[in-house]
Chain A
Amino acid sequence: MIEVSGLYHSYTKDGQYAVNGVSFNINEGEIFGFLGPNGAGKSTTQKILTGLLPLQRGSARIDGRDVSKPDSDFYNMIGVSFEQPNLYRKLTGFENLDYFRRMYDVPTEDPMKLLRMVGIEDAASKRAGEYSKGMQQRLVFARSLVNKPKIWFLDEPVSGLDPATSAAIKEIIKQKKREGTTIFLTTHNMHVADELCDRVAFIVAGEISLIDSPRNLKLQYGERIVDVEYKLNGTIQKEGLSMIMEEDRRKLNDLIREGSIETMHSKEATLEEIFIRVTGRELR
């Protein structure tokens, strides 16, 4: 669905590349996470793919269309949720959606349905400038769905949201995936990526270090150890048991059989730990 090959972009046009030879493919109906710290080139890549920045070098095609020549059909097909709440603050939530809905040539969603979906239906007639930051973020998110996009670009979709709202937004993303929408998700939140993405790409200094599914990465980079806390003679004991060594596996089975285990955690690596190991950089 999205094919990117040898993508370069320089803002200064002096050999300093914000995006440096990036290549990846995204399959139809897949959620692809683009992970990296601030200034890694995530947003630049997304801007090129959405036609907001010119394609300087390399190639990028979305649903067979060259992104260097975006036409109305191209924009009718994509939806973009920005990290910044770029809204008309003097228009109400409903008016913001209704205005943008009228820009498309394809059947669009009912603005009230979208407002209901993101939980701000009650504030439909309130000006967007009077919304809290979280509500504005949800309105931007809703706006990106107004044209029922086939390909959906999400930039930090749950940034600044409370846990309940964040969960609701993630559920909408999962629902859209089930409906067949291809999703390009840009984030530095590894928990979001872990929960939502089929595959992730680590990008640092404009270059992709790795592309794989979160599960494969955890298997590849995680330690096969289980941390166990159990009672022994009235005292709590802590122990790390290997899932590879026969003796440790037998001990774990015994502890389970005796029912003396208080807590037990598999020692799989988090995406953040893997990111640091692979790139040598933190996700800040």
Chain B
Amino acid sequence: MRLLANTIKEVKLGWRSYYFLLVFGLAIAYFLFVTFLLPEDVSTGPDIVFLNAMDDGEMFSETLFESSASNGKTLVAESRTELDRTMNKRFNSIGIVLKGSTSSPVVELVFQGYESPEVRELLRLSILQLTGALGVRDNYEIDYLEAKETEGEKIPFNKSLLPILLMSEAIMMGMILVFAMIFSEKSQQTIKAYGVTPGKIWEYLGAKVIMLTILGVIFTAILTPLVVGTQADYLQVFLIVILGSVLSTSVALIVASFYDNLSQSLVPMLALNLIFGLPMISFFIPGFSPLYLRILPTYPILFALKDALFRGTSSVGFSSMWLILLEGVVAFSIAVKVYKLRVQRG
């Protein structure tokens, strides 16, 4: 009952501090940004100019064509002259000319001349891999140094940023707002008045966590359907946002308790946001996920969000949320203990 009364109070204060309007505005602004300003594809791979000069190389050329289409544009030339002309117009392009027959294919690679030996060798190996896939040659192995993301529909670049937005706004926004809430109450000294009632500190802090979680859920509920429609596993998405908000808000409560005003806490607040935001590096560079990033709670949150939003596109699943739940409970318990001591010290 007291938790409910505290939560109603927090919602009223949040409403009158325009937190709900802020969340609504941010969600709409991010939707417009993602949909209309960010491109769907930002790949910078070279264009492939393709010339099939084989007499019976239909299947072989189709495979090569589909493979090369995954990165950059693929153009088809009808003749060697056209291939040369097209490549002259496109500075970032590579030519592939198929000759011979299916049983004995010859692949001629046409370069601009500035490509490094590594790129040339990589392309040569790629061609060898493809010929192997057709049964021409099969003595190669591929080792994935990092967990390979499961196959799925290619996610457009703009939509792929949704997990980042949900983590940085729906989950970590609470970290900023909780500082504002705590310092507002410190300046008003209302916790002293609360301290002489039978109200418990966990109820007082719990209401703040609930209020900020509600804001996170609202942000998620507005932005997610606008960006990915019905594609996401919404139950999982909301559970991740709720657990993440509880954890991040509890951690912020602990840090905020050591400072008296916003200016004092600016550096630690930004540092906390920076640290919690570090797993975004692994998000953009999947091959870079050292231990110090993986142990941050936002790492599994970020990748579990990606998995829930785009269904099976990440090796970090929802099961990792048990750890986040545990961390959230521990962080909240510490926050309650710290605030009890703070209240008792006047």
Contacts and interface: CB of A to CB of B under 8 A. Distances in A.
Contacts of A99: 5, 8-9
A103 B13 contact: no
B116 interface: no
B344 to A, nearest CB: 5
Kindly name the residue among B8, B9, B189 whose own CB sees the greatest number of chain A CB atoms within 10 A.
B9
Given A90-B13, A90-B17, A91-B12, A82 B193 contact: yes
The bracket for how many chain B residues form the interface is 20 to 34
B188 interface: yes
A103 B199 contact: yes
A11 to B, nearest CB: 8
Given A89-B188, A103-B2, A103-B5, A95 B12 contact: yes
Interface residues of A, number: 30
Contacts of A38: none
B301 to A, nearest CB: 32
A90 B344 contact: no
A254 interface: no
Interface in B1-56: 1-2, 5, 8-9, 12-13, 16-17
A54 B344 contact: yes
Contact of B197 (A53, A87, A103): A103
B308 to A, nearest CB: 36
Nearest to A105: B198
Contacts of B12: 90-91, 95
A14 to B, nearest CB: 16
B190 A88 contact: yes
A51 B346 contact: no
Given A52-B343, A102-B1, A82 B9 contact: no
A80 B188 CA distance: 16
A270 interface: no
Given A52-B346, A88-B188, A90-B12, A103 B194 contact: yes
Interface string B315-344: 000000000000000000000000000011
Contact of A91 (B2, B9, B344): B9
Interface stretch (A70-78, A203-211, A220-228, A231-239): A70-78
B197 A86 contact: no
A104 B1 CA distance: 10
Please classify the interface of chain B as helix (H, G, I), strand (E, B), loop, or mixed, using the class held by over half of its residues: helix
A51 B195 CA distance: 8
A86 B196 CA distance: 12
Contact of A100 (B8, B13, B189, B193): B193
Interface in B152-195: 188-190, 192-195
A86 B189 contact: yes
Given A52-B346, A53-B344, A53-B346, A88 B13 contact: yes
A89 B192 CA distance: 15
Given A52-B344, A88-B188, A90-B17, A78 B9 contact: no
Contact of A75 (B8, B9, B13, B196): B196
B195 A90 contact: no
Contact of A88 (B1, B8, B9, B344): B9
A99 B203 CA distance: 13
Contacts of B192: 52, 82, 86
A47 interface: yes
Nearest to A92: B12
Nearest to B17: A90
A91 B198 contact: no
A57 to B, nearest CB: 15
Interface in A101-142: 102-105, 127, 140
Contacts of B199: 103
A100 B188 contact: no
Contacts of B5: 99, 102-103
Given A47-B346, A90-B12, A103 B198 contact: yes
24 contacts: A51-B196, A52-B346, A53-B344, A53-B345, A72-B198, A75-B196, A80-B193, A82-B192, A84-B189, A86-B193, A88-B9, A88-B188, A88-B190, A90-B13, A90-B16, A91-B12, A95-B12, A99-B8, A100-B197, A102-B2, A102-B5, A103-B197, A104-B197, A105-B198
Interface of B: 1-2, 5, 8-9, 12-13, 16-17, 188-190, 192-199, 343-346
Given A52-B196, A82-B193, A103-B198, 13 more contacts: A51-B196, A52-B195, A52-B343, A53-B344, A75-B197, A75-B198, A82-B192, A90-B12, A90-B16, A91-B9, A95-B12, A102-B5, A105-B198
Interface of A: 47, 50-54, 72, 75-76, 78, 80, 82, 84, 86-91, 95, 99-100, 102-105, 127, 140, 143, 147
